[in-house]
Structure 1
Amino acid sequence: MQLILQDITKAFGEKSVLTGASFTFEKGKIYGLLGRNGAGKTTLFNCLSGELPPDSGAAVVQFGDAEKPLTPEDIGYVFSTPILPEFMTGYEFLKFYIEIHKNIPQTASIDDYFELVGIEPQDRHRLIKGYSHGMKNKVQMLCFLIAKPPIILLDEPLTSFDVVAALEMKNLLRDIKKDHVIIFSTHILQLATDLCDEIVILNGGALSQMDTALLHSKEFEEKIIEILRDPPHQPEAPPAAAASPKSAFSLRGKRR
């Protein structure tokens, strides 16, 4: 399975953020999406997930010889700022989320899922409103484990976790990558070298792949900085220009 991006463009007024982003992502790999602040990483994710319409271009999913347009149902999106129904408890939300995905067989119970990401029994029946940022991100990650989308987008996913939780999440992503295309944006170079199979750079509105041989070399950081220095940094459109996500992961009306 492949996710193929074809000349995706997006502008906010006169400000062009994506200028023809093209790339082919393959199942079984974790891709690190690197770029300067405002380079358009979140805008790209929003265009892929359906939160924002691209101005032009296309994204398709290819299964062998078959090809179809990318749809929101193909995507599991973990937002950098968690978006969850804070009036529900963690347990209530997972129960609800499993129910609306009842067509997808589950191999674990609700408590098993909580155990998987290290949310303690006493916290499972607390209101999500009282959860820390890291706990909310864990709940978001459980959503894609439940819905099993082929493509997972993670926007700065591990920055809110402590050292132990971050290691657990990295191991979880390594365990599931064989069944998914996983793309995560980060500005932490050490995280990219620890976790990624490939590095993709978003610079000047376009995507390019970094030589994999450099990923674990001493020159990695220096090369990244060299690439991102040119062209000059251009700020992304303000958050108000982005569409408001409907809820965590993709709580949309249509289901597979």
Structure 2
Amino acid sequence: MELFTVEKLTKKFGKKVVLDNITINFKEDTTVIVGLNGSGKTVFLNSITGILNIDSGTIAIDGFKPDSKEFKERIFYIPSDFYLPEYMTGKEYAYFIMSRYTKSSYQLFIEIIKLLDMSNYLDKPLESYSFGMKKKIQLAIMFATLTPYIIADEIFSGLDLETSIIIQELFFKIIGKRKIILVSHEKNIIAKFSDNILIMSDGTLTKYRQDPNLIDDFIKRGEQIDDKTKYIKQLFDSL
């Protein structure tokens, strides 16, 4: 079993501390990170995957650091603002990415592409893809690389209802075999993947132990946005 550890992680932009001495061990099958915009969620994912340099702390999977080949082979990360090389066809891009992961299953990729109704688009250039189609091919690749860790930032935003249901079902099939770390604000996703819910606030991560359906109220209290919600009520009550 892989061991993904983050110890005393700190990340600053100028004098602003965005991540403040975070320590966590991703032991649960699923982890969902929740927080308001600007709380540091994306910076955290970019830091633990090695995209951003950190100011202090350590990140490792089985002792391998983010700049090592062994670390990179153990994670697949879909950021919220991913870029795809538009001159490639869908198939060229998929096979190029999967060739970087030694355990990739090309057959699984093709089967997931069929589920997502993307078979007729594999030979077309990525520049002709819509945002949803680009996300679909990323998702098919993600499952097919068979990495121990899947990390994704707002993976369900921009997906139609059918695709969202299919992706959730695929996730349920790999729980226990691969670790899943998601950033999401969607209440139904938080509830379904609620093994380990973490609240990102003021540069720190705090474990949420209450009812997932009440998480909106918890965040409102913690982030002190109650005043704005009360003002909205007053605004419309006065009409």
Partner of 1:104: 103
Secondary structure at the aligned position of 1:172 is classed as helix
Matches within 5 A, 1:1-256: 1-27=2-28, 29-62=29-62, 67-70=63-66, 71-101=71-101, 103-104=102-103, 106=105, 108=107, 110-116=109-115, 118-211=116-209, 213-216=210-213, 219-229=214-224
Structure 1 unaligned regions, length at least 5: 231-256
The two structures, once aligned, show a CA RMSD in angstroms of 2.1
- More divergent stretch after superposition (88-97 vs 155-164): 88-97
Q: Which has the larger radius of gyration?
A: 2
Q: Report the residue type matching 1:215 in the other structure.
A: P
Match of 1:79, as an amino acid?
A: P
Match of 1:242 in 2: none
How far the C-alpha of 1:221 sits from its partner, in A, is 2.8
User: 2 CA distance for matches of 1:47 and 1:6?
Assistant: 12
Worse-matched range after superposition: 82-91 or 157-166: 82-91
**Counterparts of 2:55 and 2:191, CA distance in 1:** 33
- Partners in 1 of 2:176 and 2:17 — Cα distance? 35
Residue 147 of structure 1: how far off its partner (Å): 2.4
Contiguous gaps of at least 5 residues in structure 2? 226-239
- Tell me the distance in 2 between the aligned counterparts of 1:120 and 1:72: 27
Decide whether aligned partners of structure 1 residues 100 and 228 sit closer, same or farther in structure 2, where only a CA change above 3 A counts.
Answer: same
Contact map agreement 2:109 2:140 (CA 8 A) in 1: no
Task: Give 1:252's aligned residue.
Answer: none
Q: How far, CA to CA, are the matches of 2:142 and 2:25 in structure 1?
A: 22
Deviates more, 1:139-148 or 1:159-168: 139-148
Paired AA for residue 224 in structure 1: I
Normalising by structure 2, what TM-score? 0.83
TM-score if structure 1 supplies the norm length?
A: 0.78
Say if 2:31 and 2:198, in contact at 8 Å, map to a contact too. yes
Amino acid at match of 1:200: L
- Kindly state the Cα deviation for residue 135 of structure 1 after the two structures are TM-superposed: 1.5
Structure of higher RCO (CA pairs closer than 8 Å, 6+ residues apart): 1
Q: State the one-letter code of the partner of 1:106.
A: S
**Which range is displaced more, 104-113 or 81-90?**
104-113
Aligned partner of 2:163: which letter? A
In the aligned structure 2, how far is the partner of 1:3 from the partner of 1:42?
A: 18
For 2:74 and 2:99, the matched residues in 1 are separated by 18
Amino-acid identity (%):
25
Which residue matches 2:236? none
> How many angstroms apart in 1 are the aligned matches of 2:86 and 2:106?
26
